[in-house]
Amino acid sequence: SQTTYTDAVNDGTWTFKGYDAASAVVNKSDVEFVGKWSFEANKYQATYRFESATSGKALPAAITALTPSDSATYVNGASVSAQQPSQTTYTDAVNDGTWTFKGYDAANAVVNKANVEFVGKWSFEANKYQATYRFESETAGKSLPAAIAALTPSDSATYVNGASVSAQQPSQTT
């Protein structure tokens, strides 16, 4: 078995590799054996995790699948830059809207004797729809007068899929 020494100050392990010679013959002088040690720094990893920044909306699996992976290892004191996801928007047909990557909790991190984790946030914006109105004459051969067309309601509100919208009455009735 090898002789090792855990070096907390340098954050790694020293391993004894052996002497320059296994034996020596004393020939009217001292003999010296030189031992060699090898240092290996502890290695750390960068991990990634995505979270929804929109209350009540869970991230779809398709976004989780965009989570970067980093196979590199890093030593104590190394600066690690966050990897961007391969795409930063995702059209969500199930929830009828778009997810947008808003960034990580930090653009980079310095390894401090531990793995580093980058947490990315995605926000959801539902597609918006409007209610529009138009009047038609249901009497054959009769066009609506301009005065009636002027009574057409307008609705500047926007609605998300599944919202209930009630039709507005004409702006005046006589």
In this prediction, residue 172 carries a pLDDT of 74
Q: Report the C-alpha gap between 8 and 113 in whole angstroms.
A: 10
Q: The pTM is what?
A: 0.71
Which residues have CB under 8 Å from 159's CB, separation 6+? 128, 129, 130, 131, 165
Identity of residue 38 = S
Q: 87: domain range?
A: 46-127
At 174, the pLDDT band (50, 70, 90 cuts) reads low
Residue 148 lies in a domain: no
Instruction: Give, for 159, the enclosing helix (H) or strand (E).
Output: strand 159-160
What is the domain count for the chain?
A: 2
pLDDT, average across residues 143-165:
89
Q: Are residues 55 and 98 in the same domain?
A: yes
Please provide the DSSP assignment of 7-37 as one string: ETTTTEEEEEEEES-S-----SS-----EEE
The bridge status of strand 116-126 relative to strand 46-52 is: parallel
Q: Are residues 55 and 15 in the same domain?
A: no
Q: Are residues 12 and 53 in the same domain?
A: no
Q: Report the C-alpha gap between 80 and 83 in whole angstroms.
A: 9
Q: Are residues 9 and 82 in the same domain?
A: no
Q: Are residues 84 and 51 in the same domain?
A: yes
Q: Which of 123, 82, 88 is nearest to 104 (CA)?
A: 82
In this prediction, residue 171 carries a pLDDT of 77
Q: Are residues 53 and 123 in the same domain?
A: yes
Number of residues that this document lists for the chain: 174
